[in-house]
Structure 1
Amino acid sequence: MKASLRSALSALGVAFTAYLAVGGMFWTSTPQQPLLMVAMIALYLVTVWLCIFWGSGTTPLPLWLTALALLAAVLVPNVTWFAAGDDVRLQTWATWGLGGISALLAILVVRRRVWAAWIGVVILAVSGSFWIGIVSALSLGAVGAVVWVGIAQLVTGLMARAARDTAELTELQRSSSEWLASQSGRRRERRVTVQRAIALAGPVLTRVIETGGVLDDDERALARLSEGRLRDELRGRRLLDDAVRLQLETVRRRGTEVTMLDEGGLDGVEETQLTAIRTQLAQALADARSERVFIRTSQHESIAVTVVGRSRSEDDPDGEDVVDLWHEIRWPADADAP
């Protein structure tokens, strides 16, 4: 659509500038220097059409082409009046350069050379005042040059502002869509988490209500396992798969306390990479013999998950726990830390 609009505007510009140039060929009397008249018309058409078609239309004109346009603004009206002769300088075909150069200056504004366009307006006004007088210059085209350049600057400024507003609106819409999508995803995650929590804790809670909180040893052990499973689902769901859940169950049945915490270190990680991390975690849990195991995701650039085990020292049972397990799960070779 943009390409077709630009093509239409370019065709309109070509047709209009050609119409202005043709006006300089309808001589009601023979100019003193007809070849110079034709040469100026040719210079004008070459310059203005280069300004229309050069580049993509969205970038400023190169400086050399801007300089050529200013050179045309100097030569075309001055040489045209010189070539026409003293007696016919106020004829329509002798003053065509005022309108033609005004159109060229408007094109300079559209091509983001506003300063050059206003310099051209000054050149045009000074040249017209010198050859045909200031009053005639103003009435025959100098005022029109000011109006054309001013309107072109106003319109291009409004269009640029509209383009910026459109880009900002598009960005806001994209951000809004992303936020809505993320909220929808989080709601689905919460629903899944709640459903899983009900499935895990529901039977135990029902039993607690039925017995008034009086549970036997097996039921208490089952309640502790259910609590652990529920905490895992709430705090470290991205670390879990069937193998990891099985190893967590096995470790807890041996009497080990397990704390799992995902602090966002795995956000944005692809599923294939998560699978590799979970496989290593399941193996680390299978080898764990500690009394307490802590599993945490990491923000480190090379470490994805850290597994730490602590137990009471056999030499000093009443002293502080000692670290008897330290296992770091590195990011897979094809993954980067988020």
Structure 2
Amino acid sequence: MTATAAREPRAELRTLRLCTGVVGASTLAATVATSFVVTQPDRLGTPTSPWVLTAIAILLPLLAAGSAPWSDLPTLRWLNALVVVEYGVLLLVLALAAASGRVSDGEVPWVLTFTAAPVAAALVAWGRRAAWLVLLAATAAIQLLRVLVGHDTLSALASDVQAFFASLALVLLFGTLVAASRDFDRSTRVAYARASHRSAEDARAGVRRRLQALVHDELLATLVLAARDAPALRTAVAAQAARTRRLLRDLHEPEAAARVPVDDLVRQVRDTAAQECPAARVGLIDSRRTGSAAASVGLDVAEALTGALRQALVNSRTHAGPQATISVEMAISDDDVRIRVADDGVGFDPARVSPRRMGISTSIVGRVRGVPGGEARVESRPGSGTRVTLAWTRGRPAEEPAAPAVDTGILPAEDRRVRTGILVTIAVFWAAQAVLAGIAGAAAGDPAVAGLAIVGVGAAFLAIGWRSLARPTPARAWVVVAIVVATTALSLVPIPRDEHRYGDTWYVAACGFVLLALAVRGRPGVAVLGGLVAVVLSLSGAYLWPNDVADVLASTTRHLVILAIGVLLVLGTARTQARTTALRAEELAAVRAQVFREAAARELRERSRALEEVIGRMLERLESGAELTEHERRECAALDGRLRDQYRGGRISRPPMIEAAMAARRRGVDVVLLDDASDRVLSETELDAIAHWLASRLDAVPEGRFTGRILPHGRDGLASAVTGDEVAELPRTP
């Protein structure tokens, strides 16, 4: 199983869990409030008690909500599908009982008019289209049931209108969240794939840099000395060859989990400094906490840091000047290791260092950057000394965390489709409230309060601002709350009320929808404060006008339930988004680390074995310490050139050029291959043509020097071959 397959993104699953939990909690809160706070006469003469119907109706939504945090996606969909089926069965049973005359004149149990639960469950189970179908079907079934039981009053109309728009709002909000989570999952899969690809490329590049450093520091030095075959150097050559063979064997089966205690790394740094530059001052800054996680580093990290340190000290000792002072400062903390090598010698201009020189680019910078979390830089100026900084940081953050927007609530700020859907819903909602206002005003004989209420609801919605879905300013949010409070205060106005007629205070519940919109637009705190003030005002109206207590309590309960849905949704969404984003960053880091380890291990095995096939026998011969033949000395020189070709020749170093260069060096030809035109993109066909052309030119050179080079971008030809004073170019094929 690949790293990406093992880490399937789960933003959609977490969002559906949130939706299921919000619906379950809202259903329970609304049921408790309606059953124990709102006093309504129960006149439904069914053989089964309404309490039993209520318990059955809320059982599955609560079960689904309670098990949602631990449910996988198929289980979650099945649970929500059962919620929809249960609701449909209850409606069907009640409708059959009413049609057969087994139900006397009475009300429909409130829990069956709360269509938000089955509608949201349908969205989780089957998607947005199914949710719309369930909403329409449930609304039609409720109206049919009311006709059958003879309960088509203003109270029923107000309740059904509010329930319909609560369900409609949930479909819009949940649908938007689910769609956004699916987009997030898709982008996460792309991010995982990109991270895997890039991590594998980084791993392969890192391995190449490590091997380049090994070739530069060990192999080339061994072969150059062996080609001289001086008796005084044979012991040193044998020791170096043995060390190089051991390093190559270790690379065959890299121990990814091997660790080096940081205290051992400190000792290695001190020992390296003492060996390469005994006069260097060595300092240590240890800021680790006792028992911290930085008790060890990877073996590859330790080797890269000490290897780069050794090369930096060699360079300072060789080039800084006899009077230069060299210092080594090491700093370790819980999360990083830093080594700084500084001298006050003659310095140099880094821009003028030839790309053929591999001491800095390969043995220092490339070596440290070849391990995850590694970084290195070399700073120098003529006359100002040189400073080399080697650093490794634990758990460098993965790229592309894709954090969610923080200032737009739970809605996409600039999504025109979502914005249009919300505006259409608000317009239809306001029109429905206008119908309620007209009916309530006509029934009360005083249309003034109803007229002011419908104006207040419309003004509050408009005050939120809908040019975009970004979070409204605090001033605008407080203006909305002020309009809502003023509208709710109309419940204090003395108008003719009928204790048996519910729906006179329909605008209290309507204001709950305004505050719901404010909450999901990113102002839940302001919405809650406004909602509490509105509740206090409406309850004060119930105290002042006792004959309207049931109506006010019913409207206030709907107001609270609607607001609670919005606040729960906003808070739950914020938590889910934060957790999902954090997990994505962690998963990306894990994917990168796992792919890096796997790709690095494969690359190390393949390249180290290929390297041993080329030079293994010669290293074994050199390890013996015996005198070399003339042929063997020439072979050492040829191998030295071949290895240099691989790292300086780049794309030129391919068959048949490799064989031609080896043969030429055995003849005594000094061969230099250069690929310093990295900005020039060439096809495989062109590269093969260059290799064959250069090989044919080199085969004709009996002695002397030969330089083959890929020409930089902008030149007419593809490559050049220089032999003595003769320069030839390979033209580009039209």
The two structures have a TM-score, normalised by structure 2, of 0.32
Which residue, 434, 441, 446 being the options, matches 1:75?
434
The answer on 1:189 being equivalent to 2:603 is yes
8 A contact 1:307–1:326 mirrored in 2: yes
Q: How does 1:303-322 map to 2 (within 5 A)?
A: 307-313=719-725
Three-state SS of the structure 1 residue aligned to 2:502 is helix
Q: Distance in 2 between matches of 1:265 and 1:115?
A: 54
Q: Which residue of 1 aligns with 2:298?
A: none
Distance 1:18 1:264, change over 3 A: farther
Q: Distance in 2 between matches of 1:20 and 1:251?
A: 94
Three-state SS of the structure 1 residue aligned to 2:671 is strand
Q: How many residues align?
A: 304
Three-state SS of the structure 2 residue aligned to 1:215 is coil
Distance 1:102 1:263, change over 3 A: farther
Q: Which residue of 2 aligns with 1:324?
A: 727
Aligned AA (1:244):
M
8 A contact 2:706–2:723 mirrored in 1: yes
**CA positional deviation for 1:276:** 4.9
Which residue, 100, 107, 122 being the options, matches 1:8?
122
Which residue, 638, 641, 644 being the options, matches 1:228?
641
Q: How does 1:138-287 map to 2 (within 5 A)?
A: 139-142=553-556, 144-146=558-560, 148-210=562-624, 212=626, 214-233=627-646, 240-260=653-673, 265=678, 273-274=683-684, 276-287=686-697
Q: Which residue of 2 aligns with 1:57?
A: 175
8 A contact 2:652–2:690 mirrored in 1: no
Distance 1:141 1:220, change over 3 A: same
Aligned AA (2:502):
W
Three-state SS of the structure 2 residue aligned to 1:94 is coil
1:134-155: CA deviation from partner (whole Å, max 9, x where unpaired)? 8658644336524631442332
8 A contact 2:158–2:503 mirrored in 1: no
Three-state SS of the structure 1 residue aligned to 2:175 is coil
1:41-73: CA deviation from partner (whole Å, max 9, x where unpaired)? 887677666555569821634253244155247
1:5-41: CA deviation from partner (whole Å, max 9, x where unpaired)? 655254887799789989998888x97xx7xx89878
Q: Which moved more, 1:236-245 or 1:198-207?
A: 236-245
8 A contact 1:239–1:262 mirrored in 2: yes
Gaps of 5+ in 2: 1-12, 17-72, 81-119, 124-130, 177-410, 412-417, 445-494
**CA positional deviation for 1:222:** 1.3
Q: Distance in 1 between matches of 2:442 and 2:554?
A: 18
Q: Which moved more, 1:15-24 or 1:195-204?
A: 15-24
Distance 1:181 1:46, change over 3 A: closer
Distance 1:262 1:100, change over 3 A: farther
Aligned AA (2:687):
I
Q: Which residue of 1 aligns with 2:502?
A: 93
Q: Distance in 2 between matches of 1:285 and 1:295?
A: 12
8 A contact 1:295–1:308 mirrored in 2: yes
Q: Distance in 1 between matches of 2:440 and 2:141?
A: 19
Distance 1:56 1:69, change over 3 A: same
Q: Distance in 1 between matches of 2:658 and 2:142?
A: 83
Q: How does 1:126-141 map to 2 (within 5 A)?
A: 139-141=553-555
Distance 1:185 1:223, change over 3 A: same
Q: Which residue of 1 aligns with 2:353?
A: none
Aligned AA (1:278):
D
The two structures have a TM-score, normalised by structure 1, of 0.61
Aligned AA (1:200):
V
**CA positional deviation for 1:162:** 1.0
8 A contact 1:48–1:69 mirrored in 2: no
Q: Which moved more, 1:166-175 or 1:101-110?
A: 101-110
1:99-135: CA deviation from partner (whole Å, max 9, x where unpaired)? 864775587579x55779969x88x959x96xx6686
Q: Which moved more, 1:90-99 or 1:19-28?
A: 19-28
Aligned AA (2:569):
V
Three-state SS of the structure 2 residue aligned to 1:145 is helix
Aligned AA (2:430):
L
8 A contact 1:248–1:285 mirrored in 2: yes
Distance 1:61 1:209, change over 3 A: closer
Distance 1:297 1:310, change over 3 A: closer
**CA positional deviation for 1:224:** 1.0
Q: Which has the higher contact order (CA 8 A, sep 6+)?
A: 2
8 A contact 1:18–1:45 mirrored in 2: no
Distance 1:44 1:165, change over 3 A: closer
Aligned AA (1:57):
G
**CA positional deviation for 1:277:** 1.9
Q: Which residue of 1 aligns with 2:93?
A: none
Distance 1:17 1:54, change over 3 A: same
Distance 1:118 1:194, change over 3 A: closer
Q: Distance in 2 between matches of 1:78 and 1:134?
A: 23
Q: Which moved more, 1:91-100 or 1:63-72?
A: 91-100
Gaps of 5+ in 1: 314-322, 334-338
8 A contact 1:260–1:294 mirrored in 2: yes
Three-state SS of the structure 2 residue aligned to 1:293 is strand
Q: Distance in 2 between matches of 1:15 and 1:108?
A: 25
Distance 1:280 1:40, change over 3 A: same
Aligned AA (1:220):
R
Q: Distance in 1 between matches of 2:161 and 2:572?
A: 32
Q: Distance in 2 between matches of 1:64 and 1:98?
A: 19
Q: Which residue of 2 aligns with 1:319?
A: none
Three-state SS of the structure 2 residue aligned to 1:176 is helix
Three-state SS of the structure 2 residue aligned to 1:57 is helix
1:145-187: CA deviation from partner (whole Å, max 9, x where unpaired)? 2463144233233224413532452354245324432342233
Q: How does 1:32-43 map to 2 (within 5 A)?
A: none
